[in-house]
Structure 1
Amino acid sequence: MGKRGEAFLKIFGAVYREYQDTLGERLDFEDMVNRATALVESGRYEIPFRHILVDEFQEISAGRARLIQALMTQNAEARIFAVGDDWQSIYRFAGSDIHIMRNFGREFGGVFAGHTGVHHTVDTGRTFRSVDKIALTARRFVLCNPAQITKTVVLAGEAEHPAIQIAWTRRETGEQVLDDSLKALAAEPAQPGRKPTVLLLGRYRFIELDMRSLRRRHPNLAITFKTIHASKGLEADHVVLLGADSARFPSMIVDAPFSPLSRPKQNTTPTPKSAA
Structure 2
Amino acid sequence: PAAALLPDYTKALAARAALDFDDLIALPVRAMRDDPGLAARWQGRWAEILVDEFQDTNLAQHRLVKLLAGQGGRVFAVGDDAQSIYGWRGAAVAELRRFAEHYPAAPAPLRLETNYRSTRRILLAANAVAACDPEALRKVLRPADARSAMGPPLSLTILETPEEEGRAVARRLLALKKKTPDMAWRDAAVLLRATFLADPLLLALREAGIPAGLVAEREPDPPKEILAAQAWLRLALSFRDGAWDPAADDAFRRACVLPPRGLSGRLFARLRDHATEAGLALAAAIPTMPATADERTPFQAVAATAQEIAAAFASQRLSPADALQLAATRAGLASGLRQAGPELLAAWEAAFAAAGRSGSLGAYADALALGNVAGEAEAPDAIALMTLHRAKGLEFDHVLLPGLEDGVFPHFRAEAQGSLDEERRLFYVGLTRARQTLWLSWVRRRRDWAAKPSRFIAEIPQQLFREVA
Identify whether the pair has TM-score above 0.5, normalized to the shorter chain.
yes
Amino acid at match of 1:181: R
Amino acid at match of 2:97: R
Output the CA distance in 1 between the equivalents of 2:197 and 2:159: 15
Q: Once the 2 structures are TM-superposed, how far is the Cα of residue 255 of structure 1 from its aligned partner?
A: 7.1
Amino acid at match of 1:36: P
Deviation readout 1:106-156 (Å, 9 max, x if unpaired) = 11222xxxxxxx432111111111111101101101211101111021214
In the superposition, relative to structure 1, how do residues 93 and 206 fare at CA in structure 2: closer, same or farther (>3 Å)?
same
Instruction: Give the secondary-structure state (helix, strand or coil) at the position aligned to 2:46.
Output: coil
CA contact (8 A) 1:198 1:224 kept: yes
Aligned equivalent of 1:132: 120
Amino acid at match of 1:189: T
Amino acid at match of 1:244: L
Instruction: Give the secondary-structure state (helix, strand or coil) at the position aligned to 1:234.
Output: coil
Output the CA distance in 2 between the equivalents of 1:15 and 1:255: 29
Q: Once the 2 structures are TM-superposed, how far is the Cα of residue 92 of structure 1 from its aligned partner?
A: 1.1
In the superposition, relative to structure 1, how do residues 222 and 109 fare at CA in structure 2: closer, same or farther (>3 Å)?
same
Q: Once the 2 structures are TM-superposed, how far is the Cα of residue 21 of structure 1 from its aligned partner?
A: 3.2
Deviation readout 1:204-245 (Å, 9 max, x if unpaired) = 112113637624624498411111000111122211111112
Of 137, 162, 173 in structure 2, the residue corresponding to residue 182 of structure 1 is 173
Q: What stretches of structure 2 of length at least 5 have no aligned partner? A: 212-380, 420-469
Aligned equivalent of 2:295: none
Aligned equivalent of 1:100: 95
Of 3, 6, 10 in structure 2, the residue corresponding to residue 23 of structure 1 is 10
Q: Once the 2 structures are TM-superposed, how far is the Cα of residue 256 of structure 1 from its aligned partner?
A: 6.8
Amino acid at match of 1:165: S
Amino acid at match of 1:237: D
Amino acid at match of 1:65: H
Aligned equivalent of 1:242: 402
Rg comparison, structure with higher value: 2
CA contact (8 A) 1:190 1:196 kept: no
Amino acid at match of 1:66: R
Q: What stretches of structure 1 of length at least 5 have no aligned partner? A: 1-13, 111-117, 261-276
Q: Once the 2 structures are TM-superposed, how far is the Cα of residue 28 of structure 1 from its aligned partner?
A: 2.5
Output the CA distance in 2 between the equivalents of 1:249 and 1:119: 38
CA contact (8 A) 2:167 2:205 kept: no
Aligned equivalent of 2:82: 87
Of 28, 40, 60 in structure 1, the residue corresponding to residue 32 of structure 2 is 40
Aligned equivalent of 2:268: none
User: More displaced, 212-221 or 24-33?
Assistant: 212-221
CA contact (8 A) 1:57 1:83 kept: yes
Aligned equivalent of 2:137: 149
Amino acid at match of 2:179: E
Of 105, 108, 111 in structure 2, the residue corresponding to residue 120 of structure 1 is 108
In the superposition, relative to structure 1, how do residues 167 and 98 fare at CA in structure 2: closer, same or farther (>3 Å)?
same
TM-score normalised according to structure 2 size: 0.46
Amino acid at match of 1:70: L
Identity of aligned residues (%): 28
Aligned equivalent of 1:224: 384
Instruction: Give the secondary-structure state (helix, strand or coil) at the position aligned to 2:152.
Output: coil
Aligned length: 236
Aligned equivalent of 2:247: none
Deviation readout 1:146-183 (Å, 9 max, x if unpaired) = 01111021214534553410111111522332232223
Output the CA distance in 1 between the equivalents of 2:150 and 2:55: 34
Output the CA distance in 2 between the equivalents of 1:95 and 1:161: 37
TM-score normalised according to structure 1 size: 0.75
CA contact (8 A) 2:118 2:143 kept: yes
In the superposition, relative to structure 1, how do residues 89 and 169 fare at CA in structure 2: closer, same or farther (>3 Å)?
same
Of 384, 389, 413 in structure 2, the residue corresponding to residue 253 of structure 1 is 413
Output the CA distance in 2 between the equivalents of 1:100 and 1:184: 45
Structure 1 vs Structure 2 CA RMSD: 2.7
User: More displaced, 159-168 or 206-215?
Assistant: 206-215
